[in-house]
Amino acid sequence: MKFTCQKQELAEAINMAGKAVSSKPQTPILSGIFLKAEEGKLEVQATDYEIGIIEEIPIELETPGQIVLPGRYLQEVVRRLPEDRIRFSFDEKSRTAHIQSGNANYTLRSMNAGDYPGVHRITGDLQFTLPDTVLRNLCKKTVFACSTDDSRPIFTGVNFDFNGKTLTLAGTNTHRLAVKTYTFDEELTSMKLIVPGKTLQELLRTFTSDVPTNVAVTCSFNQISFQYENLYFTSRLIEGAFPSFANVIPKNTLTTVTMTTADLSAAMDRVFLISRTNDYNVMKLHFGDNNLHISSSNPDIGEAEEDIPATIAGPDIDIAFNATYLVDALKILEGDTCTFALTKPLAPVLITDANDPDFQYVVTPMRTR
């Protein structure tokens, strides 16, 4: 195995694949990164059995081959090399990789490539293509609402529900619910699956290009894959049935409040300075007289109060929330205005975005007495 390549391209590919290298691998081989050189390209792979990543880069190939090197050290060595070009070779007899750049020369002991499980491209009954901007928006507006409690795996993932031309994504931790829909031009195979939230968070981090591109998605009964440009990303799915959430979304509300999103977000961010230090993280809201009064108190820290204008239709209402659940939602709203639809102090509240009718966010209030 022998090739020459650009340092930046190799470093980026190794860093990308490194996202799938576990810090506590089940077996030693999973601490490695798999390299396969053939036909003018280098395939860089890594997996922890939950997610798998393949990234390809162009190389000047002299001799094809494959090798597994310790992921941590490979990343650090390549990142620190002094020149723009790297010459890479592998000595079969000594099982040693030689990496040369400028006056720098490194050797790394290899692991047995035959033991590496590899990342396999999946096939499935459901395949479709989405613009990366659409997929990014779908994930961003749902994954934040997922639970981080691994004792309840279903709630740590986002439910993908394919029904005719409509794809509905939903994330919940049972105290809040984020729902986002997208309509395709043609009907797809009906299917429901739960994608781990950690997978989607990692996928979002891979969308770094400013150039719009399409993402090819393939779904099987236990895996999902995303492919775009020179990257292939696959993940196991979460087993189980996602709970029905249609009845959770409020239908008949009594009070509707419309506010400027930027003003509301800024005010809540400031009040959050006090509420986030509170054991219960409580933020109280009073809607009345075309005004929203936001307050929070902590006997060890102090108090915070802010007022912002609001257009209110319906009876006045006092309500309290876990402040984090409100602040998180406001970060992803894109419209100039947002709307809170309320019923009573302990009933779920529906928050919508003026610029995105396909997004709904439901949050359950807190009891303060």
CATH number at residue 21: 3.10.150.10
Say if residue 149 is in the same domain as residue 219: yes
Residue 120 lies in a domain: no
Say if residue 256 is in the same domain as residue 234: no
Question: Is the overall model pTM greater than 0.85, yes or no?
Answer: yes
Q: What's residue 197's pLDDT?
A: 97
Q: Indicate the Cα dihedral angle 1, 21, 218, 113, nearest 10°.
A: 30
Say if residue 275 is in the same domain as residue 342: yes
Starting at the edge strand found earlier in the chain, the sheet holding 302-309 runs: 302-309, 291-298, 282-288, 317-322
Contact 254, 287 (CB under 8 A): no
Residue 27 lies in a domain: yes
Neighbouring CB atoms inside 10 A of 57's CB total 18
The dihedral through the CA atoms of 363, 364, 365, 368 has a sign that is negative
Asked which of 207, 222, 246 is the last residue of a domain, the reply is 246
Q: What's residue 276's pLDDT?
A: 72
Say if residue 260 is in the same domain as residue 327: yes
Say if residue 130 is in the same domain as residue 242: yes
| Nearest one of 348, 341, 352, 344 to 363, comparing CA atoms | 348
Residue 121 lies in a domain: no
Domain total for the chain?
Answer: 3
Instruction: Give backbone dihedrals phi and psi of 154, rounded to 5 degrees, phi first.
Output: -55, -35
Say if residue 238 is in the same domain as residue 130: yes
Say if residue 240 is in the same domain as residue 253: no
Residue 369 lies in a domain: no
Say if residue 180 is in the same domain as residue 270: no
Q: What's residue 279's pLDDT?
A: 64
**Domain extent at residue 337:** 249-363
For the chain (length 369 residues), average pLDDT per consecutive 10? 96 95 90 96 96 97 96 95 96 94 95 93 92 95 96 97 97 97 95 96 86 93 94 96 94 96 96 76 94 90 94 97 94 96 96 97 90
Q: What's residue 278's pLDDT?
A: 58
Q: What's residue 369's pLDDT?
A: 65
Q: What's residue 280's pLDDT?
A: 65
